[in-house]
Amino acid sequence: MNKERRLGRGLEALLGRPLGSEEMVDAAHMADDDGQGGHDGLLHLHVYDIENNPFQPRIDFDDAAIGELAASLQTHGMIQPLVVRRHGERFQLISGERRLRAAIKAGWEKVPVQLREADDRQMSEVAIVENLQRKDLNALEKAHSFHEYLERYGCTQEELAGRLNIDRSTIANLIRLLELPEAIQVDLCAGNLTQGHARALLPLGDEREQLEFARRIQEEGLSVRATEELVQQTIHQADHEPLAVVGGEAPARGRAPRRSREHSAALEQELRSALGTKVDIKQRAAGRGQIVVHFTSPEEFERLREHLCAGVHIKAG
């Protein structure tokens, strides 16, 4: 079963029930649609009576692609209606922003819509699922949509994956891209780096090395595979470098030795994979330090506590 069909069924399941005939007539009166829907059983709304989905993760829309879609609408019509919900005295888009933009560009005054019930959380989920199916939505837009959802609704990655019917690793891998330096995120959005390249840089941990590798990828045209191999070589060499000691003194205060930094980055990656959340290792002098485990909700805290304390029995008193 391919991923796209699986996501498609998830999208349908997330939407509220289709509204009944009385509600449709009431909505048609609001839309000045002569008190009834079209012969196709859909409402036909003025394009400017429809507000955009406020939870839409897309930031940029390709004007050329919208123009091509507008030309297609003029030739073939709108095969798939927009999906909207009532929002005060107007309507709010749930699904189909590209089609709405194309219809406006094509000069349409009205568009066919299907009216559904949906709360804000469902709106967020539908927007995410719809855009996961689109290849032209960049990885950071997807990552931000996941992160914002987790922050807004205080749920875990596992819970969101279950609600969207996708693998948790899809969410985790995208959200990790937000840990990269801002300059690399800009290159990723601009298409100068692929998602595969960006993910290959994560194990480095050190921002300066990540930026240097990003520069080499673009200047030397490194493939994702070549980047992964070079990153692993860099980490391996760092792990086996003897610590440089000048005059019998420890490395300068305030900066961890290279080997230590790279080893910490590898350990952070191992712990993140095991725990399913962000982990930071902060090293101090004399081998001391901290391990910081991040959580975004009480439920995720409980999941982590149960995971870390499994098999541990604490005696009372």
Active-site positions read 97
Beta-carbon contacts of 24 under 8 Å, excluding residues fewer than 6 positions away, are 37, 43, 115
Specify whether the CB–CB gap between 121 and 53 falls below 8 A.
no
* Cα–Cα distance for residue pair 62/81, rounded to 1 Å: 21
* Cα–Cα distance for residue pair 131/145, rounded to 1 Å: 10
Which helix or strand (DSSP H or E) is residue 191 part of?
none
* Cα–Cα distance for residue pair 237/246, rounded to 1 Å: 20
Please report the DSSP string for 201-225 in residue order: HGGG--HHHHHHHHHHHHHHT--HH
From the list 163, 134, 114, 157, the residue with the least C-alpha distance to 296 is 157
Length of the chain: 317
Name the residue type at position 155.
C
Count CA atoms closer than 13 A to 277's CA, side-chain side: 22
* Cα–Cα distance for residue pair 174/203, rounded to 1 Å: 14
